[in-house]
Structure 1
Amino acid sequence: MNKLFKFIAISEGISYLVLFFNMLVIKRFDLELYKSLLFPIGMAHGLLFISYVALAFIIWKNQQWNFKEFCIVQVASLLPFGTFYIEKKYLKNA
């Protein structure tokens, strides 16, 4: 389960950055490409985000996180590079 969470954390972070790239860069140059990529990228990011949050709840006790660490893991899902930090700091033994 820890390896799955590590994979989801990295994938969620990458999808977040790709979504930002699509919104901030591609939109400026090619509006049609932006519109065609928005739904699939957004859907993938949404599913990965929900998976990240749900798996964090599931492995909370398995990793023996206290409530503060659990909150840090959850808040990191909202920051652009937060999941990469969590993967390095809290999931290094996975």
Structure 2
Amino acid sequence: MSPRALFRSVAFAEAVTWTLLLIGLFLKYVTETTEVGVRIGGGIHGFVFLCYAAVTCFMWVNQKWPAKTGLLALVSAVIPYATIPVEKSLDKRGMLNGGWRLAAGGEEPHGLLEKLQAWVLRKPITAIVVALIAVAAVFSFLLFLGPPDTWFA
């Protein structure tokens, strides 16, 4: 999968999961009928949010985005549906073009982040297993903490 296809897919999925969460919030707080939508939509959205953040950081390194661009892409996940216009803007400006520059046979990595990315691209199955375990661990920890509105209560 190309960097462009990966980023576009995850940006779209992040926006879709906002819809699930917002529907759940509507059912819980407006109609006061059920909390199931928040539990399910919130969980799915949280998982996809973490995936979007990881993919955005990966793209940031691969595409050599300036700090402002990388931070904007990360922050866009916090605002409902903002990942779509950010993705469209990056695509229009050619900032999603190209392949995986640090893949086998590509550029030589420099620095810790590029070396990590090169390892991921050169050992994708091992990296996917490690990433899934890491995301599941973070996700489980966040579930253990409970909804964000209860963290400081």
- TM-score (norm: length of structure 1): 0.82
Alpha-carbon separation, structure 1, partners of 2:53 and 2:91: 15
**Residue correspondence of structure 1 range 1-94 to structure 2 within 5 A:** 1-24=3-26, 26-27=27-28, 28-29=30-31, 31=33, 34-92=34-92
Separation in 2 of the partners of 1:36 and 1:4?
30
Check 1:22–1:37 CA distance in 2 against 1; reply closer, same or farther (3 A cut): closer
Q: Structure with the greater relative contact order (CA < 8 A, sep ≥ 6): 1 or 2?
A: 1
Q: Tell me the amino acid that sits aligned with residue 4 of structure 1.
A: L
Give 1:37 shift.
Answer: 2.2
Q: Percent identity?
A: 25
CA distance in 2, matches of 1:42, 1:56: 20
Structure with larger Rg: 2
Greater share of helix = 1
Counterpart residue identity of residue 14, structure 1: V
Q: Is the 2:11–2:87 Cα contact (8 Å) retained in structure 1? A: yes
Between the aligned partners of 1:18 and 1:38, the Cα distance in structure 2 is: 8
Q: Which amino acid aligns with 2:46?
A: G
- Is the 8 Å Cα contact of residues 73 and 86 (structure 2) preserved in structure 1? yes
Q: Which amino acid aligns with 2:8?
A: K
Tell me the TM-score normalized by structure 2: 0.53
The residue identity in structure 2 corresponding to 1:62 is N
Cα deviation 1:6-39 (Å, max 9, x = unaligned): 1111111121132123212x233351xx322222
Instruction: Name stretches of at least 5 consecutive residues in structure 1 with no aligned partner.
Output: none
> Deviations 1:45-90 (Å, cap 9, x if unpaired)?
0110000001111111222311111111011111112101112111
Amino acid at match of 1:76: S
Instruction: Give RMSD over aligned pairs.
Output: 1.8
Offset at residue 91 of structure 1 (A):
3.2
Q: Structure 1: which 4+ aligned runs deviate by more than 4 Å?
A: none
Number of aligned positions between the proteins: 91
